Chains A and B, each alone.
Chain A
Protein backbone atom coordinates (compact mmCIF):
# COMPACT_ATOMS: atom_id res chain seq x y z
CA UNK A 1 0.00 0.00 0.00
CA UNK A 2 1.42 3.40 -0.98
CA UNK A 3 1.33 6.71 0.99
CA UNK A 4 -1.35 8.29 -1.24
CA UNK A 5 -3.74 5.38 -0.61
CA UNK A 6 -2.98 5.34 3.14
CA UNK A 7 -3.59 9.10 3.45
CA UNK A 8 -6.99 8.65 1.86
CA UNK A 9 -8.13 6.04 4.38
CA UNK A 10 -6.32 7.37 7.42
CA UNK A 11 -9.44 9.04 8.87
CA UNK A 12 -11.65 5.92 8.73
CA UNK A 13 -8.64 3.97 10.04
CA UNK A 14 -8.51 6.20 13.13
CA UNK A 15 -12.29 5.95 13.51
CA UNK A 16 -12.00 2.15 13.43
CA UNK A 17 -14.24 1.87 10.40
CA UNK A 18 -11.96 -0.19 8.16
CA UNK A 19 -12.20 -3.91 7.48
CA UNK A 20 -9.69 -6.11 9.29
CA UNK A 21 -7.73 -6.73 6.11
CA UNK A 22 -7.47 -3.05 5.20
CA UNK A 23 -6.66 -2.15 8.77
CA UNK A 24 -3.77 -4.63 8.79
CA UNK A 25 -2.43 -3.18 5.54
CA UNK A 26 -2.49 0.37 6.90
CA UNK A 27 -0.81 -0.71 10.13
CA UNK A 28 1.92 -2.46 8.13
CA UNK A 29 2.52 0.68 6.08
CA UNK A 30 2.60 2.95 9.15
CA UNK A 31 5.35 0.82 10.70
CA UNK A 32 7.69 1.62 7.87
CA UNK A 33 6.56 5.09 6.69
CA UNK A 34 7.62 8.04 8.88
CA UNK A 35 5.70 10.53 6.74
CA UNK A 36 2.40 8.68 7.20
CA UNK A 37 3.12 8.24 10.92
CA UNK A 38 3.42 12.02 11.18
CA UNK A 39 0.21 12.42 9.25
CA UNK A 40 -1.63 10.07 11.61
CA UNK A 41 -0.23 11.91 14.62
CA UNK A 42 -1.33 15.28 13.25
CA UNK A 43 -4.84 13.99 12.61
CA UNK A 44 -5.15 12.55 16.10
CA UNK A 45 -3.69 15.59 17.84
CA UNK A 46 -5.78 18.13 15.91
CA UNK A 47 -8.94 16.16 16.68
CA UNK A 48 -8.01 15.90 20.36
CA UNK A 49 -7.17 19.58 20.45
CA UNK A 50 -10.84 20.41 19.87
CA UNK A 51 -11.40 19.57 23.54
CA UNK A 52 -9.79 22.84 24.50
CA UNK A 53 -12.58 24.80 22.86
CA UNK A 54 -15.04 24.94 25.72
CA UNK A 55 -18.03 27.23 25.55
CA UNK A 56 -18.44 29.84 28.31
CA UNK A 57 -21.04 29.48 31.02
CA UNK A 58 -24.48 30.76 30.17
CA UNK A 59 -25.83 33.58 32.34
CA UNK A 60 -28.06 32.53 35.23
CA UNK A 61 -30.91 34.81 34.17
CA UNK A 62 -31.25 33.14 30.76
CA UNK A 63 -34.63 31.50 31.44
CA UNK A 64 -36.30 34.52 33.15
CA UNK A 65 -34.96 36.76 30.38
CA UNK A 66 -36.32 34.38 27.73
CA UNK A 67 -39.73 34.24 29.40
CA UNK A 68 -39.86 38.06 29.56
CA UNK A 69 -39.04 38.19 25.85
CA UNK A 70 -41.78 35.64 25.06
CA UNK A 71 -44.40 37.50 27.12
CA UNK A 72 -43.40 40.82 25.55
CA UNK A 73 -43.77 39.28 22.08
CA UNK A 74 -47.19 37.89 22.98
CA UNK A 75 -48.28 41.31 24.26
CA UNK A 76 -47.18 42.83 20.95
CA UNK A 77 -49.23 40.25 19.02
CA UNK A 78 -52.32 41.09 21.09
CA UNK A 79 -51.71 44.81 20.52
CA UNK A 80 -51.37 44.33 16.77
CA UNK A 81 -54.58 42.26 16.67
CA UNK A 82 -56.41 44.97 18.62
CA UNK A 83 -55.17 47.70 16.31
CA UNK A 84 -56.10 45.75 13.20
CA UNK A 85 -59.44 47.60 12.49
CA UNK A 86 -57.65 50.99 12.57
CA UNK A 87 -55.05 49.63 10.25
CA UNK A 88 -57.81 48.47 7.84
CA UNK A 89 -59.43 51.90 7.85
CA UNK A 90 -56.12 53.47 7.01
CA UNK A 91 -55.74 51.05 4.16
CA UNK A 92 -59.31 51.85 3.05
CA UNK A 93 -58.68 55.62 2.85
CA UNK A 94 -57.43 55.63 -0.77
CA UNK A 95 -60.31 53.36 -1.79
CA UNK A 96 -62.82 55.69 -0.15
CA UNK A 97 -61.21 58.71 -1.83
CA UNK A 98 -61.42 57.01 -5.18
CA UNK A 99 -65.06 56.17 -4.59
CA UNK A 100 -65.79 59.80 -3.65
CA UNK A 101 -64.11 61.04 -6.83
CA UNK A 102 -66.16 58.57 -8.85
CA UNK A 103 -69.42 59.72 -7.22
CA UNK A 104 -68.56 63.39 -7.88
CA UNK A 105 -67.66 62.69 -11.52
CA UNK A 106 -70.85 60.71 -11.98
CA UNK A 107 -72.99 63.45 -10.42
CA UNK A 108 -71.40 66.10 -12.69
CA UNK A 109 -71.97 63.92 -15.71
CA UNK A 110 -75.56 63.29 -14.59
CA UNK A 111 -76.20 67.03 -14.17
CA UNK A 112 -74.84 67.74 -17.62
CA UNK A 113 -77.00 64.99 -19.07
CA UNK A 114 -80.15 66.45 -17.45
CA UNK A 115 -79.28 69.91 -18.89
CA UNK A 116 -78.94 68.42 -22.36
CA UNK A 117 -82.31 66.67 -22.02
CA UNK A 118 -83.95 69.95 -20.97
CA UNK A 119 -82.46 71.79 -23.98
CA UNK A 120 -83.71 69.08 -26.30
CA UNK A 121 -87.23 69.52 -24.91
CA UNK A 122 -87.08 73.30 -25.35
CA UNK A 123 -86.00 73.14 -29.01
CA UNK A 124 -88.84 70.77 -30.04
CA UNK A 125 -91.91 72.66 -31.72
CA UNK A 126 -94.58 71.16 -29.47
CA UNK A 127 -92.84 71.98 -26.35
CA UNK A 128 -91.83 75.43 -27.61
CA UNK A 129 -95.56 76.58 -27.60
CA UNK A 130 -96.03 75.11 -24.19
CA UNK A 131 -92.96 76.91 -23.06
CA UNK A 132 -94.17 80.29 -24.43
CA UNK A 133 -97.52 79.84 -22.67
CA UNK A 134 -95.80 78.84 -19.53
CA UNK A 135 -93.41 81.76 -19.92
CA UNK A 136 -96.41 84.13 -20.55
CA UNK A 137 -98.08 82.80 -17.47
CA UNK A 138 -95.01 82.96 -15.38
CA UNK A 139 -93.95 86.44 -16.57
CA UNK A 140 -97.36 88.12 -16.40
CA UNK A 141 -97.75 90.55 -13.50
CA UNK A 142 -100.73 91.92 -11.64
CA UNK A 143 -100.31 95.34 -13.24
CA UNK A 144 -100.57 93.88 -16.68
CA UNK A 145 -103.72 91.99 -15.69
CA UNK A 146 -105.31 95.20 -14.36
CA UNK A 147 -104.27 97.15 -17.47
CA UNK A 148 -105.71 94.46 -19.73
CA UNK A 149 -108.94 94.44 -17.74
CA UNK A 150 -109.20 98.26 -18.15
CA UNK A 151 -108.76 97.90 -21.86
CA UNK A 152 -111.50 95.32 -22.03
CA UNK A 153 -113.77 97.49 -19.89
CA UNK A 154 -113.10 100.49 -22.07
CA UNK A 155 -113.87 98.47 -25.15
CA UNK A 156 -117.12 97.40 -23.50
CA UNK A 157 -117.97 101.02 -22.61
CA UNK A 158 -117.33 102.12 -26.17
CA UNK A 159 -119.49 99.37 -27.51
CA UNK A 160 -122.26 100.40 -25.08
CA UNK A 161 -121.92 104.00 -26.07
CA UNK A 162 -122.41 103.04 -29.67
CA UNK A 163 -125.51 101.12 -28.70
CA UNK A 164 -126.74 104.09 -26.68
CA UNK A 165 -126.22 106.48 -29.52
CA UNK A 166 -128.03 104.19 -31.84
CA UNK A 167 -130.82 104.00 -29.29
CA UNK A 168 -130.91 107.83 -29.07
CA UNK A 169 -131.09 108.10 -32.83
CA UNK A 170 -133.97 105.65 -32.91
CA UNK A 171 -135.76 107.48 -30.12
CA UNK A 172 -135.22 110.85 -31.88
CA UNK A 173 -136.64 109.46 -35.13
CA UNK A 174 -139.72 108.07 -33.36
CA UNK A 175 -140.34 111.48 -31.78
CA UNK A 176 -140.11 113.26 -35.12
CA UNK A 177 -142.41 110.80 -36.78
CA UNK A 178 -144.99 110.96 -34.09
Chain B
Protein backbone atom coordinates (compact mmCIF):
# COMPACT_ATOMS: atom_id res chain seq x y z
CA UNK B 1 0.00 0.00 0.00
CA UNK B 2 1.19 3.47 -0.89
CA UNK B 3 1.71 5.14 2.47
CA UNK B 4 2.80 8.28 0.62
CA UNK B 5 -0.75 8.76 -0.61
CA UNK B 6 -1.72 12.11 0.91
CA UNK B 7 -5.19 10.86 1.88
CA UNK B 8 -3.81 7.83 3.70
CA UNK B 9 -1.29 10.00 5.52
CA UNK B 10 -4.07 12.37 6.59
CA UNK B 11 -6.21 9.47 7.76
CA UNK B 12 -3.33 7.99 9.78
CA UNK B 13 -2.61 11.36 11.34
CA UNK B 14 -6.30 11.66 12.16
CA UNK B 15 -6.02 8.26 13.86
CA UNK B 16 -3.21 9.68 15.96
CA UNK B 17 -5.54 12.39 17.20
CA UNK B 18 -5.09 15.25 14.72
CA UNK B 19 -8.70 16.20 14.14
CA UNK B 20 -7.73 18.92 11.67
CA UNK B 21 -6.57 16.14 9.30
CA UNK B 22 -10.13 14.84 9.14
CA UNK B 23 -11.34 18.31 8.18
CA UNK B 24 -8.69 18.39 5.45
CA UNK B 25 -9.95 15.03 4.15
CA UNK B 26 -13.49 16.39 4.09
CA UNK B 27 -12.37 19.46 2.16
CA UNK B 28 -10.50 17.30 -0.35
CA UNK B 29 -13.37 14.91 -1.05
CA UNK B 30 -16.65 16.66 -0.17
CA UNK B 31 -17.50 17.59 -3.77
CA UNK B 32 -16.73 14.11 -5.06
CA UNK B 33 -18.90 12.51 -2.36
CA UNK B 34 -21.75 14.99 -2.72
CA UNK B 35 -21.80 14.77 -6.54
CA UNK B 36 -22.02 10.98 -6.38
CA UNK B 37 -24.80 11.12 -3.78
CA UNK B 38 -26.67 13.77 -5.76
CA UNK B 39 -26.49 11.86 -9.04
CA UNK B 40 -27.54 8.69 -7.29
CA UNK B 41 -30.44 10.12 -5.28
CA UNK B 42 -31.35 13.11 -7.48
CA UNK B 43 -32.22 15.34 -4.52
CA UNK B 44 -30.05 18.13 -3.12
CA UNK B 45 -31.09 17.96 0.54
CA UNK B 46 -30.93 14.16 0.63
CA UNK B 47 -27.56 14.15 -1.11
CA UNK B 48 -26.14 16.70 1.32
CA UNK B 49 -27.41 14.72 4.27
CA UNK B 50 -26.03 11.51 2.81
CA UNK B 51 -22.64 13.12 2.14
CA UNK B 52 -22.51 14.13 5.81
CA UNK B 53 -23.50 10.60 6.82
CA UNK B 54 -20.66 9.19 4.69
CA UNK B 55 -18.09 11.46 6.35
CA UNK B 56 -19.49 10.60 9.77
CA UNK B 57 -18.89 6.94 8.95
CA UNK B 58 -15.29 7.78 8.10
CA UNK B 59 -15.00 9.69 11.38
CA UNK B 60 -16.37 6.70 13.31
CA UNK B 61 -13.93 4.40 11.49
CA UNK B 62 -11.04 6.34 13.06
CA UNK B 63 -9.95 3.46 15.29
CA UNK B 64 -10.61 0.61 12.87
CA UNK B 65 -9.16 2.10 9.67
CA UNK B 66 -6.32 0.10 8.11
CA UNK B 67 -4.70 1.33 4.87
CA UNK B 68 -5.36 -1.87 2.91
CA UNK B 69 -6.48 -0.17 -0.31
CA UNK B 70 -6.36 3.20 -1.99
CA UNK B 71 -8.17 5.75 0.21
CA UNK B 72 -10.54 6.78 -2.59
CA UNK B 73 -11.48 3.13 -3.25
CA UNK B 74 -12.38 2.78 0.43
CA UNK B 75 -14.25 6.09 0.33
CA UNK B 76 -16.21 5.09 -2.80
CA UNK B 77 -17.09 1.74 -1.22
CA UNK B 78 -18.56 3.58 1.78
CA UNK B 79 -20.43 5.91 -0.60
CA UNK B 80 -21.81 2.98 -2.56
CA UNK B 81 -22.99 1.13 0.56
CA UNK B 82 -24.56 4.24 2.08
CA UNK B 83 -26.30 5.18 -1.17
CA UNK B 84 -27.72 1.69 -1.69
CA UNK B 85 -28.88 1.57 1.93
CA UNK B 86 -30.58 4.93 1.52
CA UNK B 87 -32.26 3.80 -1.68
CA UNK B 88 -33.62 0.69 0.05
CA UNK B 89 -35.02 2.87 2.85
CA UNK B 90 -36.85 5.08 0.38
CA UNK B 91 -40.25 3.83 -0.63
CA UNK B 92 -40.94 3.92 -4.35
CA UNK B 93 -42.65 7.19 -5.13
CA UNK B 94 -45.57 7.21 -7.51
CA UNK B 95 -45.20 10.15 -9.83
CA UNK B 96 -47.70 11.05 -12.50
CA UNK B 97 -46.38 11.04 -16.04
CA UNK B 98 -47.93 14.47 -16.55
CA UNK B 99 -46.38 15.90 -13.40
CA UNK B 100 -43.56 18.32 -14.03
CA UNK B 101 -40.43 17.43 -12.10
CA UNK B 102 -38.77 20.58 -10.85
CA UNK B 103 -35.05 20.87 -10.43
CA UNK B 104 -33.48 22.31 -7.31
CA UNK B 105 -33.22 26.06 -7.44
CA UNK B 106 -29.46 26.09 -7.86
CA UNK B 107 -29.07 22.94 -9.94
CA UNK B 108 -28.28 24.70 -13.15
CA UNK B 109 -27.31 28.18 -12.07
CA UNK B 110 -24.55 27.02 -9.71
CA UNK B 111 -22.80 24.47 -11.82
CA UNK B 112 -19.68 22.95 -10.43
CA UNK B 113 -16.81 22.36 -12.77
CA UNK B 114 -16.04 18.66 -12.57
CA UNK B 115 -12.35 18.36 -13.28
CA UNK B 116 -12.73 15.40 -15.64
CA UNK B 117 -15.82 16.41 -17.51
CA UNK B 118 -15.68 19.01 -20.26
CA UNK B 119 -17.68 21.78 -18.65
CA UNK B 120 -20.54 22.94 -20.86
CA UNK B 121 -20.97 26.66 -21.21
CA UNK B 122 -23.97 28.08 -19.40
CA UNK B 123 -25.49 29.29 -22.64
CA UNK B 124 -25.66 25.78 -24.11
CA UNK B 125 -26.90 24.22 -20.93
CA UNK B 126 -30.38 23.08 -21.48
CA UNK B 127 -32.60 22.71 -18.48
CA UNK B 128 -34.81 20.26 -20.30
CA UNK B 129 -31.86 18.16 -21.42
CA UNK B 130 -30.59 17.96 -17.83
CA UNK B 131 -34.03 16.82 -16.72
CA UNK B 132 -34.19 14.15 -19.41
CA UNK B 133 -30.76 12.79 -18.49
CA UNK B 134 -31.61 12.88 -14.79
CA UNK B 135 -34.77 10.89 -15.42
CA UNK B 136 -32.92 8.40 -17.62
CA UNK B 137 -30.24 7.83 -14.98
CA UNK B 138 -32.85 7.58 -12.21
CA UNK B 139 -34.69 4.91 -14.18
CA UNK B 140 -31.64 2.62 -14.22
CA UNK B 141 -31.39 -0.27 -11.76
CA UNK B 142 -29.28 0.69 -8.70
CA UNK B 143 -26.16 -1.29 -9.62
CA UNK B 144 -26.17 -0.02 -13.24
CA UNK B 145 -26.71 3.52 -12.01
CA UNK B 146 -23.77 3.23 -9.62
CA UNK B 147 -21.53 1.77 -12.33
CA UNK B 148 -22.45 4.58 -14.76
CA UNK B 149 -21.83 7.31 -12.17
CA UNK B 150 -18.46 5.87 -11.16
CA UNK B 151 -17.36 5.29 -14.76
CA UNK B 152 -18.84 8.29 -16.53
CA UNK B 153 -18.60 11.03 -13.91
CA UNK B 154 -15.88 9.91 -11.50
CA UNK B 155 -13.72 8.38 -14.24
CA UNK B 156 -12.92 5.23 -12.29
CA UNK B 157 -11.36 2.31 -14.16
CA UNK B 158 -13.16 -1.04 -14.54
CA UNK B 159 -10.84 -2.51 -11.91
CA UNK B 160 -11.55 0.26 -9.42
CA UNK B 161 -15.30 0.00 -9.98
CA UNK B 162 -15.04 -3.77 -9.48
CA UNK B 163 -13.32 -3.17 -6.13
CA UNK B 164 -15.89 -0.58 -5.07
CA UNK B 165 -18.94 -2.59 -6.08
CA UNK B 166 -17.38 -5.88 -5.02
CA UNK B 167 -17.66 -7.82 -8.26
CA UNK B 168 -15.49 -8.94 -11.19
CA UNK B 169 -14.24 -6.66 -13.97
CA UNK B 170 -16.33 -8.72 -16.40
CA UNK B 171 -19.43 -8.02 -14.31
CA UNK B 172 -18.65 -4.29 -14.37
CA UNK B 173 -18.35 -4.35 -18.16
CA UNK B 174 -21.63 -6.20 -18.39
CA UNK B 175 -23.34 -3.66 -16.08
CA UNK B 176 -22.05 -0.75 -18.16
CA UNK B 177 -23.03 -2.47 -21.41
CA UNK B 178 -26.61 -2.93 -20.24
CA UNK B 179 -26.70 0.59 -18.79
CA UNK B 180 -25.63 2.11 -22.11
CA UNK B 181 -28.33 0.24 -23.99
CA UNK B 182 -30.95 1.24 -21.42
CA UNK B 183 -29.87 4.88 -21.56
CA UNK B 184 -29.95 4.85 -25.35
CA UNK B 185 -33.52 3.57 -25.25
CA UNK B 186 -34.59 6.12 -22.63
CA UNK B 187 -32.98 9.03 -24.45
CA UNK B 188 -33.93 7.98 -27.99
CA UNK B 189 -37.15 10.01 -27.88
CA UNK B 190 -35.22 13.15 -27.05
CA UNK B 191 -33.16 12.87 -30.25
CA UNK B 192 -36.24 12.31 -32.40
CA UNK B 193 -37.61 15.74 -31.43
**What interface size band does chain A fall in?**
20 to 34
Cα(A49)–Cα(B136), bound, Å? 11
The reply to whether A52 and B184 form a contact with Cβ atoms under 8 Å apart is no
The reply to whether A42 and B191 form a contact with Cβ atoms under 8 Å apart is yes
Cα(A49)–Cα(B134), bound, Å? 11
The reply to whether A51 and B52 form a contact with Cβ atoms under 8 Å apart is no
Contact with B along A21-50 (1 / 0, CB 8 A): 000000000000000000000110111011
Cα(A12)–Cα(B177), bound, Å? 8
A81 interfacial contact with B, CB 8 Å: no
The reply to whether B125 and A52 form a contact with Cβ atoms under 8 Å apart is yes
A69 interfacial contact with B, CB 8 Å: yes
B5 interfacial contact with A, CB 8 Å: no
The reply to whether A42 and B184 form a contact with Cβ atoms under 8 Å apart is yes
The chain B residue with its CB closest to the CB of A17 is B173
The reply to whether A58 and B34 form a contact with Cβ atoms under 8 Å apart is yes
Residues of chain B whose beta carbon lies under 8 Å from any beta carbon of chain A: 23, 26-27, 30-31, 34-35, 38-39, 44, 47-48, 51-52, 55-56, 59, 104, 106-108, 110-112, 114, 117-120, 125-126, 129-130, 132-134, 136-137, 148, 152-153, 173, 176-177, 180-181, 183-184, 186-188, 190-191
Residues of chain A whose beta carbon lies under 8 Å from any beta carbon of chain B: 11-12, 17, 42-43, 45-47, 49-59, 62-63, 65-67, 69-70, 73
Extra A-B contacts (15), CB below 8 Å, given A11-B177, A42-B184:
A11-B180, A46-B191, A50-B148, A51-B117, A54-B111, A54-B114, A55-B112, A56-B44, A59-B48, A62-B34, A62-B48, A66-B52, A66-B55, A67-B23, A70-B59
